[in-house]
A = this chain, B = another copy of it.
Amino acid sequence: MGKQFLEITEKKEVEKIIADLSVKLANKIAAETEKVRINEALGRIASTSIFSPLDIPPFDRSTMDGYAVVAPDTFYSTEDNPSSLIIKGYIQAGEFPSHLHQYIEKGYCTGISTGAAIPKGANAVVKVENTFEFVMDVAVAKGVGKKGGGKKIKKVKIYKPVAPAENIMLAGADIKRGERIVTNETMLSPRETGVLAACGLKEVTVRKKSVVAIISTGNELVAHGEEKLKPGKIYDVNAQTISDSIRETGCGCVPLFLGIAEDSQEEISAKIKDSLAKGVDVIIVSGGTSAGVGDVLPTVIEELGEILVHGVDIKPGKPFILGMVQGKPVFGLPGNPTSALITFNLFVAPLLRTISCNYFYKGEEGRERRKSKKAKAAVRIFSEPGRNEYVLVNMVKMKPHEEENFFVYPILTGSGAITTLSKADGYIFVEKGEEIIEEGEMVEIELLTSMPTK
């Protein structure tokens, strides 16, 4: 019933087409920005450099518990011959009461806590360890009366001199107003969000998240969670696995499920136009189990735009389609859930990572890649001659207490689409020409999803 003639493109060629396309798209998408609150900025990418609107600390600030003094008052102080100052009051961190705006003159000081603002006139802090506080009669202090009677004052003995600015962090010493605190293109980690909070910022301008439209096609498909299945219908799987794979790979894109389309040109075309109207950045169409996508999607793409790839020399995944419609990539993935997941990992995820991530980090410093693992083939594994084949495997840990001791078994794909999805932990790539993997041989497994499952 369906056309079976695809213009098969080599896997490497497809990867190159997608890599080039990704870079072009990334540059376009990077220009789109939005404002988010600092509380929601984690992992987002700053789209401008950010400068501090204030000095940090915003005022001269004590770095010790002690007494704020006029430094020369303490010069020549020793254990044997301390200087002695009148205490005007105490300043706790967070306080800035107006009576302390009074100038601290020579002969006076204030008690001060770590983090508190230095009063005017004072220019150093003596650590509490080098002082001794005491109470004295005012009359004695002024040298006009005797001890024991009348008003009292508080004084402090200073046993060690301090130089000007000692134990004070000057306003702006940590960060100067106008200083750059975040560079354009930085992915905001908890360190950056902390620095933004320190500067009192409310919002930050970041790159917009790319939106990926997801469309499932197939006359037999029903969205899960909907009412009971009518005869002949089955529940759609791909919308869920592809949406969750987008969320899981952490590529920072947002999946947008646009529903199920029947296998007709009109419906698929309408869904794609709907996606474009909604301003999505990428469109993923996955086929039903019928030949639908293989037939209808290329026709729709040719009508609306152009086809770049239709068919790749891999198994599963041969009917993979890539087209461009109004400057947006449209991916056509097979309907079989495991094949859809493999082609998503191979061709879609790298594009999503590039367009959504900080461009400078897309190398080894980039966001988490799909994970791979080494394991031993538990049995001889055969692949189809003359094909680039992805052999689905199930991993078994032989000795739970030793790391890196996994064995893999191939999955016999005859058993059904959902069982395969549930059993396959990943796949081994067997290149054309290489057809047998011997028992005990070490193989590299690309995991289908990066979360561990039993």
Q: Interface of A with B (CB < 8 Å)?
A: 1-2, 37-39, 42-43, 54, 56-59, 65, 91-96, 113-117, 128, 169, 173-175, 181, 183, 185-202, 218-222, 224-226, 228-245, 247-248, 262-263, 288-291, 337, 341, 358, 360-361, 364-366, 368, 403, 415-419, 421-422, 424, 448-454
Contacts and interface: CB of A to CB of B under 8 A. Distances in A.
A226 to B, nearest CB: 8
Contact of A422 (B191, B243, B288): B191
Contacts of A415: 174
Contacts of A197: 224-225, 235-237, 239-241
Contacts of A116: 220, 232
B248 A194 contact: no
B58 A191 contact: no
A115 B421 contact: no
Contact of A94 (B39, B185, B221): B221
Given A94-B219, A169-B416, A368-B368, 4 more contacts: A56-B418, A96-B231, A190-B244, A194-B244
A441 to B, nearest CB: 23
B202 A224 contact: yes
Contacts of A58: 229, 233-234
A83 to B, nearest CB: 21
A419 B403 CA distance: 40
Nearest to A114: B290
Q: For chain A, what secondary structure do more than half of its interface residues adopt (helix, strand, loop), or is it mixed?
A: loop
Given A1-B65, A198-B224, A291-B114, A231 B59 contact: yes
Given A198-B418, A202-B225, A453-B187, A93 B42 contact: no
B38 A174 contact: no
A447 to B, nearest CB: 9
A285 to B, nearest CB: 16
B175 A418 contact: yes
Nearest to A229: B58
21 contacts: A1-B113, A43-B248, A43-B451, A57-B234, A58-B229, A93-B220, A93-B290, A94-B218, A94-B233, A173-B416, A174-B418, A174-B419, A175-B418, A190-B242, A190-B449, A194-B240, A194-B337, A195-B237, A196-B224, A201-B224, A358-B452
Contact of A128 (B1, B169, B403): B1
Those 6 A-B pairs whose CB atoms lie nearest each other, nearest first: A174-B416, A96-B232, A94-B219, A94-B220, A96-B231, A190-B244
Contact of A192 (B341, B416, B453): B453
A117 B448 CA distance: 30
Contacts of A128: 1
Given A190-B248, A448-B191, A115 B453 contact: no
Nearest to A219: B94
B92 A189 contact: no
Contacts of A417: 174
A65 B4 CA distance: 13
A195 B241 CA distance: 9
Contacts of A225: 37-39, 197, 200-202
Contact of A416 (B56, B185, B247, B289): B56
Q: Which of A114, A169, A220, A448 has the most CB of B within 10 A?
A: A220
B56 A115 contact: no
B114 A451 contact: no
Contacts of A341: 190-191, 194
A316 to B, nearest CB: 15
Nearest to A194: B241
B234 A92 contact: no
A240 B117 contact: no
A58 B127 CA distance: 80
Contacts of A228: 200
A43 B250 CA distance: 12
Contacts of A54: 229
A396 to B, nearest CB: 13
A242 B228 CA distance: 45
A220 B95 CA distance: 7
Contacts of A358: 452
A262 to B, nearest CB: 8
